[in-house]
Structure 1
Amino acid sequence: MKYASYQIEGSARVGVVEGDTIVPLGDATLTVNAGVDALQAAPRHEARRIPLAQVRLLPASPAPKKIFCVGLNYLDHVQETKRELPRYPVLFPKFASNLIAAGAPIQLPPESRQVDWEGELAVIIGRPGRRIARAEALDHVLGYSIANDITVRDYQYKTHQWLQGKAWDGSTPLGPWIVTPDQVDLTTAGIRTILNDEVVQESTLSKLIFDVPRLVSELSEFTALEPGDVILTGTPGGVGYRRDPQVFLKNGDEIRVEIDGIGRITSTVVDEVAAGERPASVG
């Protein structure tokens, strides 16, 4: 099953994607923050089925209370950064205002000349929990989505903390929808990032150093997880900053992230000044 958050006629809704249509769920108060049980119990409005082309998709989880990001979670990315293999997940936050929908443009801020890509699997929490055992972790997952952890490198490395380069407003595509766990094989699914038809990142989800159950368990040790919370699980090797010569996103580029069993997000890259207005974000 695929859950999509979307906007139509000025109202934000959630529905089930079937083919090229969306079947609305529940009423206008229902969001992915209601959790997996509420979404599964919500009535389907078959008579109000809508073509996907007629709605504006929102970020897969439009208003998460928490966004956790994991750095250095693929061996080839650790190697290209010349860092030591982490023994505990490298964590940093993002905010709801950072998120944009799949298909919304990535805007290049005028302050930076080093905007980089990071294709990632996103985990959306569906049931609340604290100190969740690893064996029970997947019971708390609503599903999986795709993210591009756009990183402003010249700001990221201003200090030893990464926040200012990772939490740029209106910069992080998340979507296009949430695919339930029964539809995604984490042991075989491939992940790849394509820049202007060139594959720049490619790996499989099985190569995560800290897998999804461990991340859910480790995070829930120090904070309660809530429905709608997002975990970005890290990026494979191949980021632009670590290439020789370095490669950064520029006006007119197209960047795409694909994960087998989930789908793809495709974003055009534009100069923020030229775009005229910021992409829609929620939070």
Structure 2
Amino acid sequence: MSDKGAGNHSDVTDFTLVGFRVRPELHILLFLVFLLVYGMVLLGNISMMAIIVTDSQLNTPMYFFLSNLSFIDLSYSTVIALQAMVNFLSEKKTVSFVGCAAQLFFFAFFIVTEGFILAAMAYDRFMAICNPLLYSVHMSRRLCSQLVAGSYLCGWLSSILQVSITFSVSFCASRVIDHFYCDSYQIEKISCSNLSVNKMVSLSLAAFIILPTIVVIVVSYMYIVTTVLKIPSVEGRKKAFSTCSSHLGVVSLLYGTVSFVYLTPPSNPELCKVASVFYILVTPMLNPLIYSLRNKDVKQALGKVLWKKKSLD
């Protein structure tokens, strides 16, 4: 089939997002569920950022990374949730070519950046537990800023490559994306082009950008576990592990759901959509809860804020 017969990406003006294959009357229910969860994402992450900024006791590397994590969670949830909620209430359920490309760009940007931020947080915990005497010297404000800036840079480079390769293809007659957002895998499924280059670029991104973050996290925690097990007292081991449990919970939620969607055979597309909701909305909603409920410093800071508000009232 020629490009003329298949249609080129330059001829595409919009796509149709199928969303969830449910009865039309259930779209209102889906809208309300997304609205509720997204509202909790907003409340939790904005509150976390506000507490960290206003409390001087939280002016440490760990909370600097955590504030960036909250900003990223809020950002990529917003990029996906708003479009999804609009489509739930719309009959056409379309998104423009430019809008689709922008959504994929920002989603890829923030999700890859989050992986690097989580790796930086793992390295921070490694330094705090395995080299406590050098921690304050090594984890300087300058290094933390460089790690965060590098995370955003890697996310930006990755998203540029992802969007460029995804939308460089020719499309078939169908403009229907079987998802509730512009997912690169589903976009490639409606392409008539040879996707060997796309697959090579995706594997390269995974090998040179995604894989290193996983390696840093795994190696950091191998050293952390080895160090903690050498602590003689049970109370000391418990205290050391408690400083890492929140981060481990966040890492497990994100990488677990993303791996399920992208690394398992797509036998049930609807199940993959549900799993996508977990890392797009549920994980960003739970992250502030995980850190606030399992972190004494955050609970104390929140308590001070609530006490101050009560005193003013």
TM-score interval, smaller chain: under 0.3
Higher strand share: 1
TM-score by length of 1: 0.24
Higher helix share: 2
TM-score by length of 2: 0.22
